[in-house]
Amino acid sequence: AQSVTQLGSHVSVSEGALVLLRCNYSSSVPPYLFWYVQYPNQGLQLLLKYTTGATLVKGINGFEAEFKKSETSFHLTKPSAHMSDAAEYFCAVSRGSTGGFKTIFGAGTRLFVKA
């Protein structure tokens, strides 16, 4: 079985500070890993994804994440937070199975950015 754990339901940073959102996963086979962002009253949008290849993945809006197999982690970072980054962030793991893929989401982390 696969699962996703996001450490910290709320993270607060100052504008211009480093953003670090933590995600750990468990999967019996190499998974595909994703970060999604949800702005207020909107659906989910893909930030970035890891499938194979380079373990450091760059996404939109200056975000990046590093896949560390030994730590079963896929933490999301951004060097300098912007007010517009305030949103809910979801880590997700997807694994193929007979007939299709199943995507499981973490509980989400709400990012607050202070002026």
Partner 1 sequence: DTAVSQTPKYLVTQMGNDKSIKCEQNLGHDTMYWYKQDSKKFLKIMFSYNNKELIINETVPNRFSPKSPDKAHLNLHINSLELGDSAVYFCASSQETGRAFFGPGTRLTVL
The binding site for partner 1 (CB under 8 A) comprises: 32, 34, 36, 38, 42-46, 49, 51, 88, 90, 92, 94-105, 107-108, 110
In the complex with partner 1, which residue's Cβ is closer, 76 or 92? 92
Query: At its nearest, how many Å lie between partner 1 and the CB of residue 23?
Result: 14
- Of 64, 65, 62, 74, the C-alpha closest to 30 is 74
> Rounded CA gap, 6 and 93, in Å?
12
Query: At its nearest, how many Å lie between partner 1 and the CB of residue 115?
Result: 24
In the complex with partner 1, which residue's Cβ is closer, 17 or 104? 104
In the complex with partner 1, which residue's Cβ is closer, 17 or 108? 108
Query: At its nearest, how many Å lie between partner 1 and the CB of residue 48?
Result: 10
Q: Which residues contact 35 (CB under 8 A, 6 or more apart)?
A: 21, 23, 46, 47, 48, 49, 59, 63, 65, 74, 76, 89, 90, 91, 92
> Rounded CA gap, 33 and 18, in Å?
22
Q: Facing residues of 31 across strands?
A: none
In the complex with partner 1, which residue's Cβ is closer, 84 or 98? 98
